[in-house]
Amino acid sequence: MTSGAGAPVDAVIAWVDGNDPAHRARLEACLRALGQPPRGGAAPTRFDDAGEIEYCIVSLLRFAPWIRRIHVVTAGQVPPVLARLRAAGWGDRVRLVDHAEIFAGYERFLPTFNSRAICSLLWRIDGLAGRFLYLNDDFMLLRPLARADCFGDDGTVVLRGAWRPQSSRTLAGKARAALRRLRGAIGGRDLPPRDSERNAQELSARLAGFDDRYFRLGHTPYAFRRATMQAFFEAHPGWLERDLEYPFRRAGQFRAECVSAHLEIAQGHATFDRRLRLVQLKPAEQAAWRLRRKLRDADRDARAAFACVQSLDMAPAAVRADIVAWLRRRIGTLDQWLAPAPPPAGSPGEPAPGQPGRP
């Protein structure tokens, strides 16, 4: 394994604006062609944009200035924050990547609305660094992050999560499988597997050779080594094409970030971190009092380094306003970042860091 000391690191953000009429037209045409209603992997909240990408990008610029370049992957769209960055002289730090670039040679699978398929091709971004962080656009950093928090000088990747047994090895998992087979027998057909986060992560681990357990990843930035994914998919082109053929997310798909993590573990190229913590917000599911308590707790916890705000578009107006106000205080807006004065402090009592590399 080559040394990772001093090697460049990039960040990749997947983004879509589901409110764009052109995007909606492409999505609805695809659904009509498939004869499918808009549900599950095609649910509107999977594509709606509530401005989260601005906080995602600003948090990387502010708290991880060691990142060489940010690649925003999308399909025929330009997030407004990117145009503002270009106008401010940041065009060399934040680059737009169209799906056509990473799907070169696989154009028959476009258009796609499947985040898992897109993630499987991120390693094909032109000029991408050998090590990169992958983030959904609703991931943010909440405090300064060192390069060593993501990649070791020896080239290892840092993983965050916990070991879990494969469902097939637990009594509860075996019971669920038996009940599903029974329901299928009663209905006279085999029931397909459920499209769940657990099933996708377990399958990903098995593809990398972990049949008894899996390392369940949380919703924090995922550390990748480009060469690992390139070698894996070049050795298993059939698996890649099977992943790409679904225009919407569905059961039976793996998650490339989980496959990558388990390959690195198997090859001895991974370390584990339990120090930095995730603040996961689900405003469409969690009660307002619980969300507000999470925000207060995060402000008191120096280990709270990452936030994931899922389906902000579905939050009640008052809750959404509270979360946005918190993000503005903890991270700051692009206008604050570009202004002569630094953005507000990241948390009570924490001095605002400098802004290396500002134009």
Say if residue 203's pLDDT is above 50: yes
Residue type, 325: A
* Cβ atoms < 10 Å from Cβ of 316: 12
How far is 339 from 161, CA to CA, in rounded Å? 37
How far is 55 from 59, CA to CA, in rounded Å? 6
> Confidence band (pLDDT; 50, 70, 90) for 191?
low
Look-up of token digits 């994914």: 229
Predicted TM-score of the model (pTM):
0.87
How far is 100 from 173, CA to CA, in rounded Å? 40
- How confident is the model at residue 285, as a pLDDT? 87
Q: What is the pLDDT of residues 102-135, one digit of tens each?
A: 999 999 999 999 999 999 999 999 999 999 999 9
**Residue 268 φ/ψ, nearest 5 degrees:** 75, 25
- How confident is the model at residue 1, as a pLDDT? 40
- How confident is the model at residue 251, as a pLDDT? 84
Q: What is the pLDDT of residues 130-158, one digit of tens each?
A: 999 999 999 999 999 999 999 998 889 99
Q: What is the pLDDT of residues 238-269, one digit of tens each?
A: 999 999 999 998 888 999 999 999 999 999 99
How far is 73 from 86, CA to CA, in rounded Å? 16
> Confidence band (pLDDT; 50, 70, 90) for 227?
very high
Say if residue 347's pLDDT is above 60: no
CA angle 265, 124, 93 (to 5 degrees): 100
Q: Could you give all domains of the chain from N- to C-terminal order, each with its CATH number?
A: 9-160+216-338 (3.90.550)
Contact present, 255 and 204 (Cβ < 8 Å): yes
> Confidence band (pLDDT; 50, 70, 90) for 176?
low
> H or E element: which one contains 46?
none
